[in-house]
Each structure stands twice: as C-alpha cells, then as structure tokens.
Structure 1
C-alpha cells in the first residue's frame, strides 16, 4: 500500500497542477513505447505494459474511469501484440508493414464509432467518468490502434493521431497536465512514424522479396 501511495504523490508541479510519480513515469514509458514502435522493436510491447500499470494508478487518482479501464485492456492487448510479433519473428524473422485493405479500414472506423458510443453510454450511466464520451473515445481508439499495430497496418498511426487530438484537452481538464504535455510530443512522433511506415510499406509492395521492415529496425538485404 505504501508503494501505491508513493506512486500518486507529486514529483513536481506543472502550470500549478501536481504531477504524480505514476503520471510522470507512465508517460515516460508511453513515449518510449511510441519510439520503439516507430523503430519496429519488439520491446515496445513490454514497455507499454509497464507504462499502462503506472497510468492506471494515475487515472484512478484523477477519477478517469474510462482511461483507467483503458489501461487494463491495453495490457491484455499488448500481451496479444507481443505474442503476435514474437511468433512472426520466430517464423519469418521479420514484420512486413502494409496499408490496410478497404474492408479493414471500414472495420476499424466502425469499431471506433460504435465502440465509443457503446462504452461512452456505459461510463455515463455508471457515473465512472466526468467526461464519458471523449474518455470512451480515447479508450476505444487505443484498442483499435493496438489491434492495427499488432497486424502491422500503417493506419494504426492515424488512429493514434486521432486519439492524441482528443487526449490533450481531456488530460489537461482532468488535472493530468503532464500527460497533456506528453501528448504534444506524441503528435510529432506519430507523424514521423506514419511517414516511415508508409515509406516502408511502399518499398515492400515494390519489392516483396527484399527490403522488408524487420522487428529490430534493420532491412534484409536482397536475396536474404
């Protein structure tokens, strides 16, 4: 109990708002996760799990029920993604990034819209969030993005971008000012990742037997 109490004690103040250790360390892990995903490193998944544990504690203390629930499901989704990438590494030694098909895109959008409406209603009825639908949007958007990431689909960066645009004001209004500031950094990293994965996807289409993006960030030489 003392450890969890310490996690939610302030480490510093930002714009007059206290920033607890859980929010600070959790967002450091979140930044590291995005960087590792950009480099296509499998370590992005365990780092994401650690960050989610820390951010769960921060969200509970800020009465963001949707965001807290999001962290629990993100841990489960990260375990799935970690397993998927490890299997690909063992079987193929690489992860080929690609653009989604139109049916996949429609499925991602439908899951985002319907999931947000459904979960937002649950949060509103249960009184588990002070701003239920934006809270639900971030929760569902994170799951959709992680599913797309696990499938190595370029569109996962677009979903993260949409989540960040809502996450910035929601985090600030909820008192998690540091989280809001980190979301700005996410925006830059997401755009960089979007461009990089899109470029690699085109390379894979042009030369499907060479130059595929690998899990450790290197490219296989032709004929490998």
Structure 2
C-alpha cells in the first residue's frame, strides 16, 4: 500500500507546475480505451474503467488535495458515469462478440481456429434516436449546470455539457452509433478551455490530441460502415 500511495501522490514538475502522475496515467488509460473503441475490441471497456477510477480522484481536487485544489464535479461525475456505462458497454460488446463467434463456427463447424469478430458493427442512429439525443442534451445540460453550480463546481455550465456529452458519446459507442465520435468533438471543444483555465494541463493536452484521434476514429468507423453496406449490396440474395 505504501508503494501504491507513493505512486498515486507523486507529481511531475513541468515548467514549475506540479502535475499528478495519476492524472497522466489515468489519461493514458483513457487514450488506450479510445483506441480499443476504434478497433471495436472488448478490452476497451475495462481499460477505460481503470482510467476513470484514477481521474475521479484527480478532478475532486479540493477533496483529494491535488495541486489544483479545485473541484470539477462534472468532470469527476462523468468518471462515475463512464464506469456505469462502461459496464453496460462491456456486457453488450461481450455478448455481441460471443454471438459473432457462434455464427462463425456455425458457418464452418470443422474449423478449429476462428478469426475473432469485431464486437460491434458501426451504424447511424435513426432520426428518432438523434432527436432524442438532442432533446436529452439540452435538458440534461440545463439541469446538471444547476446541480453543479449548487455544489460549487468551478465552471458549472461547461462542466455540465462535458458531463452530458460524455454520457451521450459513451452510450452511443456502446450502441455502435457512428455519431458518438462527433459528440466527442463537441465535448473536446468545450473541455480544452475549461481544463486549461483550471490548471489541468495533461487532461487539456489529451483533449487536444483526442480531437485528432476522434476524427481518425470517425472516418475509420465510417469506412467500415460503407464496406458493410457495399458487401450487403453485392452479396447474393
């Protein structure tokens, strides 16, 4: 426990600014999870959960006495939300993967080695689902802004949208909606200025990197989606 506590409390000094190693490590786990999500592999979810647990303690800076000593309840709360939705996504993708493996074996029962199928197939959300996301985003952002302001959050409106947008994006990833990548971009646009002004520099830097990574992920899923549509059209009926 002593070694673990030392690791969690250790800081890196950059430009005279102390930065917690657990903020850096937590964001690296988040990045690994995003990469796994782009590749549509199940391990993306448990890896992300580890990062969520670390970053929860980082963004409650006043509670855990971080160098910033600021409480961002939206950022901390979304780590709890990530954990809950990630458990759902983990279960959903695992079930889809098991189904895919069974289907592969059914096609050729004599095969002893089965190529691992992707855990989810990218597709667009329906018009009704998109409308539901927009309505939820507006109402939930207003509600959580009031809640975070009452709790004393630093930057409650930006904090609220980051929380709500992250919720929508993570749920969309679990459902296989290609739009979830675009929601992440909207989260990043708000998140970078908030984190820079609050002094969470590793997280802000990762948000900038995420913006480029998210575009890559979006076009990767879009390519897969188009390939699936092309295969469906060319396959014999």
Into which bin does the TM-score normalised by the smaller protein fall? 0.7 to 0.9
Which of 56, 79, 91 does residue 87 from structure 2 map onto? 79
Aligned to 2:113: none
Aligned to 2:155: 131
SS in 2 for 1:18: strand
> Which consecutive residues of structure 1, in runs of 5 or more, have no partner in the other structure?
211-221
1:4, CA displacement in angstroms? 5.0
1:84-139 alpha-carbon deviations (Å, 9 max, x no partner): 00011111244211111111111112221211111111111222x11101001111
Q: Please, what TM-score do these two structures have when normalized by structure 2?
A: 0.83
Aligned to 1:162: 186
Structural mapping, 1:138-157, within 5 Å: 138-157=162-181
Which of 173, 184, 191 does residue 215 from structure 2 map onto? 191
CA distance in 2, matches of 1:173, 1:30: 21
> Which consecutive residues of structure 2, in runs of 5 or more, have no partner in the other structure?
62-69, 102-117
Aligned to 2:134: 109
1:205, CA displacement in angstroms? 2.1
For the pair shown, the structure with the greater C-alpha radius of gyration is 2
Structural mapping, 1:204-219, within 5 Å: 204-208=228-232
Q: Please, what TM-score do these two structures have when normalized by structure 1?
A: 0.87
1:184, CA displacement in angstroms? 1.1
1:5, CA displacement in angstroms? 6.8
Aligned to 2:115: none
Which has the larger helix fraction?
A: 2
CA distance in 1, matches of 2:219, 2:146: 35
Query: For the Cα contact (< 8 Å) 1:7–1:57, is it kept in 2?
Result: no
Query: For the Cα contact (< 8 Å) 1:29–1:48, is it kept in 2?
Result: yes
Q: 1:6 to 1:60 in 2, by over 3 A?
A: farther
CA distance in 1, matches of 2:147, 2:9: 27
Give the total of aligned pairs. 210
Q: 1:48 to 1:164 in 2, by over 3 A?
A: same
CA distance in 1, matches of 2:205, 2:226: 33
Structure ranking higher on relative contact order (CA contacts 8 Å, 6+ apart): 1
SS in 1 for 2:60: helix
